[in-house]
Amino acid sequence: MRIVHAEQLGESFYQRPWGLAQDVRPLLEEVRRHGDAAVRALTLRYDGVRLESFWVEKEEIQGAFARVPEGLVEAIRRCIERLRLFCERQLADYKDFDMEIETGLFVGQRVVPVERVGVYAPGGRFPLISSVYMGVVPARVAGVRQVVVCSPPTFQGSVHPALLVAADLAGADEVYRIGGVQAIAALAYGTESVRAVHKIVGPGNAFVTAAKREVYGQVGIDFVAGPSEVLIIADEQADAEVVAADLLAQAEHDPDASPLLVTTSARLAERVRAAVARQVASLATAPVARASLERNGLIVLARSSEEAIAVANRWAPEHLELQVRDVEPYLAGLRNFGSLFIGAGAAEALGDYSSGLNHVLPSNGAARYTGGLGVRDFLKVQTVLRVEGSPPARPLEDGVRLAQAEGLEAHARSLQARRR
């Protein structure tokens, strides 16, 4: 890992450009026009699988339980329960209300769930079991009526059994063996076999991400996420072996993942660099981790905690770890992150799987304006106006003045008609 000083960081360090729109648009259009036939053709072209039916039958899902070790099934069950508890607490903060803002003039809100949601669960190099329940559980807790899961087929034309177990335990209504751009298109536009959804959530590769950007507006999406990121702020008391382990946990995700350490200690920087080199040698995922470290791995030397905070706030990392003696100054200053992990025991991998937090988080700077996936992403807040009798005179006259100032005479007349 390279070691640089904070003042050497250029603007390009903080955000990478989006791309691939031109690549995915023709594929999306194929599915929009030709439905199932296009999904089959694209699946054969990109996944090497010839599919007849997209829908995974209930019998196949139930059969998956026999193919997954019992200990893993129970671990998935416990992870789902922790996430459900967290989501239920989130839901408690979203309530209907009705208030009389002036005599006879009532304003309020209704909180209602989205009706049909699609959850994308990547296959790729590894089946991301946790991504299934991270999308399904908050939707279910929010009250979504229908939750659909799409995941790429294996070469045998099935979905990985552990993904099917997770979908069933989390409460998915339908599972489809479709991945990539064609899955996003099928969910957004609908086909003969797949009914369109109202919102699509879940992580994916660069092509899936580009496809979600393109269909936004036709459907809602959670957010546009780039490759996975971790930024660890550590001081001289941090355990170099633990810091190195957490950097590698991020690096093994993807060659484009970004593992970063920001530290005020040059001694810790050298110790972490040596620990990373030593630990990566024994990883089964070493080729991917090394590629990530070489492309994007960085150790940033900050002159002070204030400079470390400034780097973190500008980069707005997906995952932000604090491994420092005194956390209070950092908590007061840090504003932009997907999830925050405080203390050496708070491994980012706990957030990935089993702590109850959601691991679908904003990256590539998106944490500057949004948070991670949660119950609120599956809720619509609808505002309501109710008037008993004639509208109060003052709000009515204020509205007339504003309408006339904007040159909208019909608006003014609509309000003046209520004077009677």
Cα angle 76, 82, 84; round to 5? 100
Phi then psi for residue 117, to 5 deg, are -130, 140
Residue of 177, 182, 176 whose CA lies nearest to 211: 182
Of 231, 294, 244, nearest to 272 by C-alpha is: 244
Report the 10 Å Cβ neighbour count for 286: 16
Active site residue 319: yes
DSSP letter string, 210-234? HHHHHHBTTBEES----S-EEEEEE
Q: H/E element holding 118?
A: strand 116-120
Q: For residues 106 and 111, give the distance between their C-alpha atoms in angstroms, rounded to a whole number.
A: 17
192: Cα within 13 Å, side-chain hemisphere: 10
Of the candidates 319, 321, 348, 359, the residue annotated as catalytic is 319
Cα–Cα distance, 169 to 101 (Å, whole number): 45
Cα separation, 184 vs 119, whole angstroms = 10
Whether 34 is catalytic is: no
Residue 118: name the closest of 34, 35, 24, 204 by CA: 204
Bridge-based pairing of strands 258-263 and 229-234 is: parallel
C-alpha to C-alpha distances, 255 to 18, 190, 263, nearest whole angstrom = 17, 33, 24
Catalytic residue among 30, 229, 318, 348: 318
Torsion of CA 404, 409, 414, 416, to 10 degrees: 50
- Residues known to be catalytic: 318-319
